[in-house]
Structure 1
Amino acid sequence: MIAETVCSAVSAAGLGIAAITAYRKRFLAAARIVAYSLVPLGLVMTGAVEWLARTAFSPVAWAGFGVLGGAWLLFMTTRAVERRRGGTRKERKEAKAAARGAAVEPSASVPSLGQAARPAPRPKTKSGGADAADDFSDIEAILKKHGI
């Protein structure tokens, strides 16, 4: 009963402030204030305030909020551990299979093509670093590893 009265008073005060704001020719701000001040009145009319007041003083409701908080905490903890381990068991299995497939493919193709199919060693550039094609092969290997 008291909560409904307070919400109604807050709505009335907000509507008064909106009227003053509109009088000062600030209509957009006045419309926004009216919207905010109608929210408590709407909550009273729907019965949400009464439900909230009943819930706030109920020990069973607080125990329910505690259980929900514990479930949320457990869920977030398991997600954090799963991310730290590197994904779910299925994702790890798929990653291992992809790694095995990538490791088998190049060695399987070399004997069937013979000695002539093997690429010659690339000469070093003047700077002593690897060639630009080597950089791209590293990137391709990383992308293949991640299945892209």
Structure 2
Amino acid sequence: MPDRPALEDRMIAETVCSAVSAAGLGIAAVTAYRRRFLSAVRIAAYALIPVGLVMTGVVEWLADTAFSPVAWAGFGVLGVSWVLFMTTRAVERRRGGTRKERKEARAAARRDAVAPAASEPSLGPGSGAAARPAPRPAEKSGGDDDFSDIEAILKKHGI
């Protein structure tokens, strides 16, 4: 007769896994209440794993898995967990990464942004008036009337 875990051992394992899952789902609910839905779904996915493993009968894998409806329901729960993981990853990719990465990108964009009337030191060395040649007065010639509009536009934009 194969060694099967005692009923008490199985019950303790199932109770611990159920408690861990319940706590995880509670944390997911609090996270969702704070409007961090992607994180809440990911936490819920992690929280479902222990229950799914208990339901699959990992402890008695060889004996009960093939014919146990509870085990197949556990596989279904694990499948739901996997779908939740993949959904959150797809949404993150569409948004441009994790929350931390988006925060770093916004901070980098703020550092690189320069006000239109910023002083020369804030622009960095070599990017001020010394780096640009002084504008030359436009020479007026009789046949260049076609280019006067273009010159005015370029002057307006500081080119």
Class of the TM-score when normalised by the shorter of the 2 chains:
0.3 to 0.5
As a proportion of its length, which structure holds more helix?
Answer: 1
In the superposition, the TM-score normalised over structure 2's length comes to: 0.37
In the superposition, the TM-score normalised over structure 1's length comes to: 0.39
